[in-house]
Amino acid sequence: MLPKPFRALILGSSGTIGSALLHLLQNDPDCERVTGLHRHSAPAIDYDHLDTIELAYEALKTEQPYHLIINTIGALHSNQFMPEKRLADLHSSQLTQQFLTNAIGPALSIKQFSQLIDPAGGVYATLSAKVGSIADNRLGGWYSYRASKAALNMLIKTAAIELRRTKPNLILAAIHPGTVKSSLSRPFRGDELGREPHHAAQEILSVLKNLVPADSGTFKSYSGEVIPW
């Protein structure tokens, strides 16, 4: 679905995976232009300030349309909290923050930035997580992260059904990036078990470049396999 050349937009381009994708696309001979947005870019995007989503859209909508949009923004933990292991660990503040970052912000981004995809065709991908799969949940724990990613998956699936009717040439998909060496995975042996960011970016981009219209509304791994919701 990506023409040659194509134009790309990375949301969260200052993060580990986002910056790796940005660098990869900057050196991709098929990519005519790639734009990166993050908290300190101009325009900025910051899910702690949801108005930045619409402001960023307004700033970009007069430019040429994009063919590839990848949202890499997400959070597993912060300086204030770590993933919950037990029901006793649940706190409303953590649940709220995880849903804001992992579901609400990405959903509102789809609402706005999907309008920037070229009507002739394109791909809009959002990084999700395999632990958000209800069918694959065998270990429990990580309540707010799992639940927020499951909510994100439902939002993507629902939006894909609508957009299939109104924008039939747009592929909307969820992508599981796997374990990558990053600040997100470091507390969970990420440096030992994870892949290098540039390697992960190559695998993600390869999957996205090979998507076909029938893949819209699916949840795929970096390896290309379909993950059950």
Radius of gyration of the chain (CA): 17
**CATH code for residues 6-221:** 3.40.50.720
The alpha carbon of 66 is separated from its chain's Cα centroid by a whole number of angstroms, namely 16
Could you report the average pLDDT of every consecutive run of 10 residues in the chain (229 residues)? 96 97 98 98 98 98 97 93 95 97 98 97 97 95 97 98 95 96 67 84 97 97 96
Residue 1 confidence (pLDDT): 85
The 3-class SS string of 32-47 reads EEEEEECCCCCCCCEC
Task: Give the DSSP letter of residue 219.
Answer: E
Residue 194 confidence (pLDDT): 76
Instruction: Give the start-to-end residue ranges of the domains of the chain.
Output: 6-221
Question: How many CB atoms lie under 10 A from the CB of residue 25?
Answer: 25
Residue 181 confidence (pLDDT): 87
Residue 189 confidence (pLDDT): 62
Distance (Å, rounded) from C-alpha 193 to C-alpha 92?
A: 31
The model's pTM is 0.95
Torsion, Cα of 14, 189, 229, 171 (10° steps): 30
